Structure 1
Amino acid sequence: MDDVRPGRARLVRWGGLAGALLLTVAGWLGGALPGTAGGGPAELWRTGRAPVVLGCWLAGMALLAGGWWALRAGAPSTRWAYLTAGLWLLPLLAAPPLGSRDVYSYACQGWVYAAGHDPYAGGVAAAGCPWVDAVAPIWRDTPTPYGPFFVLLAALAATVGGGLVGTLAVLRLYAVLGVLLAALCVPGLARAAGVPTRRAAWLALACPLVGVHLVAGAHNDAVVLGLLLLGLLVLVRLPGRPRALLVAGALLGLALAVKATALVVLPFAGLLAVRGRYTVRALARDAGLLAAGGFGVLAVTSLLSGLGLGWLGGLAHSGDSRQWTSPPTAVGLVGDYLGEAAGARWPAVPVARVVALVLLAVALAGLWWWAWSALRRLDDVPGRVRRLAAARPRVALLGAGLALAATVLAAPVFHPWYATWPLLVLAVATVPPARARWFVLPCAAVSFLTLPDGSSLAAYTKAPGAVGMTLLVLAAVVLGSRAALGRRRRPPAPG
């Protein structure tokens, strides 16, 4: 069993299973059930079940996150990682929606379209969805922010499912299929990038965020990640082949037609598409064909659904929630507090968010140029150096993972399941185990941000959380600047 002691592995496996069972119990006693309003701790205390629900939830999450962290350097084997992650998911399949009420929004959005209404024209409450009471109040009057492909999937779920319970079951089936598709792609991507599959599979699939939010919460992020990883795997296996590029582009286009966040991966997927030497001509040829497949599928789904690009307008409402878990929003909130102390009012939060988006654009361009330059340099490495064969896909995948991480950090709002985007890509692209800690630890920490009914602990720690996050941002800026200056002053290595 490699370098993991059998006793430790058994403790992790069965401790995590106990944690998943505790989370399921917490979900049935105080989860995001249809007849509840998601009132948070106050509502739980009124029911008298708060000690049991919160105790089971925190203990279960601690067991899952602790077990995941304990084997961050790699599970005993790839097979062991898959079996254990699957064992942990089994109880969560029987749980009600956990950690979020978004699945009820999906159900109503599907019902709205199936009933002949435009889900991009207004909220689900105005359209008359019969299940609107189960939707979180903040999202009842906002247009759908998801792409036409997911609206079609949600409408199919509402039609096939009939009632609310049946619709939720179909939506959870979508999420499970998305996670399974991602799980099938992880070994191939990891091997192509030179990453041990036993570590990549463990980091990608055993994270509590995957079980709690992607599976039990039935978030459509699972569908996106499944399509995204499959598209990247096709590019890794068959770079430069016209049919493969069109297929990969179609998969990435479907991911984009679910959530717009997939857009930031396309430039790095274009680097994976190149076969042979990295030249501008080769990039234009292969990446152009990939883009044609992707945006062609997006256009087809938009036309066939009759929805067009109306979903882009819904994206403007994604920032209606103001929580310190988003770094730019936290900085803006601190600006508001300082303004109130000085007796002035200014739009600190909108300004901070705009600045973050500008910095994000710069960061994405810089990441792509770094990846392009690194790949161009690899063209000059002698072909006989076999150990560098994995460097090309690793560079592109690492760039895609970092781009997703930057997007999540710069977004106007952050929810814990957003962290699964960079997690699954970085898990197959990060080679040294020590370097995985910087994204494993935050993912473990944000697992504790939500309660089983979907309420966020960030809502109850607004001021101290905003100050703490702002201090973290300042510390990151200072440390990053010092590191950059240190690299500039360091003399170049010989040769």
Structure 2
Amino acid sequence: MPRPAVVRYSGLAGSVSLAVAAWLGGATNPWQPTVTPGTIFAGDNGVLLPLAWLVGTGLLIAAWVLGVRAVPSARWAYVTAGLWMLPLLAFLPLGSYDAYSYACQGWQQSAGLDPYAGGVDLLGCPWADAVAPTWRDAPAPYGPLFLVLAGIAAKTSSLAGTLVGLRVIALIGIALIAVSLPVLARRGNVPLGRAVWLVLACPLVPIHLISGAHNDALMVGLMVAGLALAVTRKGWAAGALLGLAVAVKATAVVVVPFALLLMLDRRMRPVDNSGSPSEAPVDNSAVLSPSTRSVAPVPGRAGEAVANGPKISAAPAAAWRAIVALVGGLLIALGVVSLVSGRGLGWVTALSGSGVSVQWTSLPTAIGMTIDLVGPDAVPVTRVIGIVALAVVLAYLWWRARQRDALLYAGYALAATVLLAPVFHPWYAFWPLAVLGATLHQHLRWLVVPCAVASALCLPDGYNLALAVKTQGAVAMTAFIVYFAWKSVHEAKNRAAERRRADHDLHRLSRPDA
């Protein structure tokens, strides 16, 4: 097991090295031709920039992966994660030019223009030449809350001041995650130190959420805080925070049905020998599926358990109160911030512009790109199929979550959203990590490995390495999907056959002459 000090300061060295890379070749104003593998091998970028990026990324990822088994305490994990963020605060954005798009959208909002009506090509912006060419004609695909906050940041009237404001917004999101993790980890029965390490020390945080100032930090922070309040059954407050999360990015709406299940999750609080209540989980199906059968105990007054029996006549009323509180809080928060921004619901129609990027890192897009090699343009079709499949998967996960851990299944729902969405950017991998890191007990490699790979995908100023192997990546991803589907069907058949054999053997043993 590596020493905690080695893990901490190896990661810190990696963060400092990445700060050097950001200083030498981060996303700059004005936009410049992107640093690519070709320019690196041609020597156009010198030696120090690619070396600083390679060493920094490698050290940060290695320290995070090895540190999963070296976390001595939650406090140590919090401090270490904070140390890794510090070096990147004062330098150019890493991994993306999106911060400049945010800055221009904030300037448009503060100037009384409608960022949902068009991009910087149409509406203008004093820093338009810093926006990546791909997004110069795209309207803002973000919610009204983020526009209001970006507009406040742009009030400084300088690009540097606006970037500082955007990083402060990202830090607020990270702080919300930090204060919410203890509640989620306790609910998921996961050691807090490990949860903090998996979530906050992930290289995606310093590279993309802090240095890149992506608004995903605020969206995830509000979303996680809303889930934490749902765990404690503070319905109106949970709904309000989830509404604010949706008002940053619409993706947060995925967890709302699971937050409702958390609100309905009743826990028996029997009285122990000392007279103090203690928690023990019970079946929540009594609240979700009213019937007249005998059910597990639900909370009574003063920590007393309610006896088994058909005592669930109040369950529908409790369910409706939870629904009204959560949904009411969400709609009120979303409505208020829409009115304050002055943009109404115009951001909903602007969401379609986010699909301009076509990369094989999105599963549906990869399948469409592979079909394109031998036939007509299939990407739009496979993307629609992916969205339909996502809706089915989300409904299935919610149904399963009724009798299981709703918080864990909220993480699964976010993972499904990332996998089946039309577009994937590396920082999207943080969405499920923020929940699964505090709830998942086993198979952590399925959580750690994708996030580690995603952390290394972008070169300093935003070139995605997936672009260098576009065709090969699409074919490989499609082959993986086919193999995974075949393996899933094969294992399902094997399990069904084993159950049939077991039932047959049991039937034979139960016969009188056996």
TM-score of the aligned structures, taking structure 1 as reference length: 0.88
Match of 1:245 in 2: 235
Compute the displacement of 1:49 (Å).
Answer: 2.8
Match of 2:72 in 1: 76
Alignment partners' CA distance in 2, 1:69 and 1:48: 33
Q: Is the 8 A contact 1:31 1:99 kept in 2?
A: yes
Compute the displacement of 1:128 (Å).
Answer: 1.3
Aligned-partner residue type, residue 431 of structure 2: W
SS at match of 1:40: coil
SS at match of 1:308: coil
Quickly say closer, same or farther: Cα 1:169–1:43, change in 2 above 3 A. Answer: farther
Alignment partners' CA distance in 2, 1:130 and 1:201: 40
1:437 aligns with 2:432: no
Aligned pairs for 1:327-366 (under 5 A) are 327-339=363-375, 346-366=376-396
Q: Is the 8 A contact 2:362 2:421 kept in 1?
A: yes
Q: Is the 8 A contact 1:203 1:427 kept in 2?
A: yes
Aligned-partner residue type, residue 266 of structure 1: V
SS at match of 1:319: helix
Aligned pairs for 1:104-183 (under 5 A) are 104-159=100-155, 161-183=156-178
Quickly say closer, same or farther: Cα 1:352–1:53, change in 2 above 3 A. Answer: same
Q: Is the 8 A contact 2:39 2:45 kept in 1?
A: no
The alignment-based identity, stated in percent, is: 51
SS at match of 1:461: helix
Among 376, 388, 409, the residue aligned to 2:419 = 409
Match of 1:273 in 2: 263
Match of 2:482 in 1: 474
Compute the displacement of 1:309 (Å).
Answer: 1.1
Quickly say closer, same or farther: Cα 1:77–1:396, change in 2 above 3 A. Answer: same
CA deviations 1:350-384 (Å, max 9, x no partner) are 1110111111011000000000133xxxxxxxxxx
Compute the displacement of 1:273 (Å).
Answer: 1.0
Compute the displacement of 1:79 (Å).
Answer: 1.4
Quickly say closer, same or farther: Cα 1:304–1:35, change in 2 above 3 A. Answer: closer
Compute the displacement of 1:414 (Å).
Answer: 0.5
Aligned pairs for 1:280-359 (under 5 A) are 280=289, 281=316, 282-339=318-375, 346-359=376-389
1:462 aligns with 2:462: no
Quickly say closer, same or farther: Cα 1:175–1:294, change in 2 above 3 A. Answer: same
Alignment partners' CA distance in 2, 1:287 and 1:482: 40
Quickly say closer, same or farther: Cα 1:111–1:60, change in 2 above 3 A. Answer: same
Match of 1:101 in 2: 97
Compute the displacement of 1:321 (Å).
Answer: 0.9
Alignment partners' CA distance in 1, 2:226 and 2:287: 20
Alignment partners' CA distance in 2, 1:62 and 1:438: 19
Match of 1:379 in 2: none
Aligned-partner residue type, residue 186 of structure 2: R
Aligned-partner residue type, residue 117 of structure 2: A
Alignment partners' CA distance in 1, 2:121 and 2:494: 56
SS at match of 1:97: coil
Q: Is the 8 A contact 1:458 1:465 kept in 2?
A: yes
Aligned-partner residue type, residue 11 of structure 1: V
Compute the displacement of 1:468 (Å).
Answer: 1.3
CA deviations 1:241-268 (Å, max 9, x no partner) are xxx2111100000000000000100000
CA deviations 1:227-284 (Å, max 9, x no partner) are 11111111212x2xxxx21111000000000000001000000101115342352434
Q: Is the 8 A contact 2:365 2:423 kept in 1?
A: yes
Compute the displacement of 1:191 (Å).
Answer: 1.1
Q: Is the 8 A contact 1:74 1:198 kept in 2?
A: no
Higher share in helix: 1
Q: Is the 8 A contact 1:268 1:399 kept in 2?
A: yes
Match of 2:20 in 1: 25
Among 358, 367, 386, the residue aligned to 2:397 = 367
Compute the displacement of 1:73 (Å).
Answer: 4.2
1:51 aligns with 2:41: no
Among 3, 7, 10, the residue aligned to 1:8 = 3
Compute the displacement of 1:226 (Å).
Answer: 1.1
Alignment partners' CA distance in 2, 1:287 and 1:213: 35
Among 450, 458, 467, the residue aligned to 1:450 = 458
Compute the displacement of 1:78 (Å).
Answer: 1.1
Aligned-partner residue type, residue 139 of structure 1: W
Match of 2:63 in 1: 67
Q: Is the 8 A contact 1:32 1:38 kept in 2?
A: no
Alignment partners' CA distance in 1, 2:370 and 2:123: 38
Match of 1:387 in 2: none
1:235 aligns with 2:271: no
Larger radius of gyration between Structure 1 and Structure 2: 2
Match of 1:484 in 2: 492
SS at match of 2:385: helix
Q: Is the 8 A contact 1:74 1:202 kept in 2?
A: no
Alignment partners' CA distance in 2, 1:286 and 1:483: 39
Q: Which has the higher contact order (CA 8 A, sep 6+)?
A: 1
Alignment partners' CA distance in 1, 2:26 and 2:130: 12
Compute the displacement of 1:299 (Å).
Answer: 1.6
Alignment partners' CA distance in 1, 2:265 and 2:446: 32
Quickly say closer, same or farther: Cα 1:354–1:50, change in 2 above 3 A. Answer: farther
Match of 1:343 in 2: none
Compute the displacement of 1:71 (Å).
Answer: 2.5
CA deviations 1:305-358 (Å, max 9, x no partner) are 22111111111111111111111111100000012xxxxxx2310111011111
TM-score of the aligned structures, taking structure 2 as reference length: 0.85
Compute the displacement of 1:488 (Å).
Answer: 3.3
Compute the displacement of 1:72 (Å).
Answer: 2.7
CA deviations 1:415-464 (Å, max 9, x no partner) are 000000001100011123xx111121111011111011011112221111
Compute the displacement of 1:476 (Å).
Answer: 1.9
Match of 2:434 in 1: 424
Match of 1:396 in 2: 406
SS at match of 1:278: helix
Unmatched 5+ stretches in structure 1: 340-345, 375-394
Query: What's the RMSD between the two structures over aligned residues?
Result: 1.8
Aligned-partner residue type, residue 328 of structure 1: P
Match of 2:201 in 1: 206
SS at match of 2:287: coil
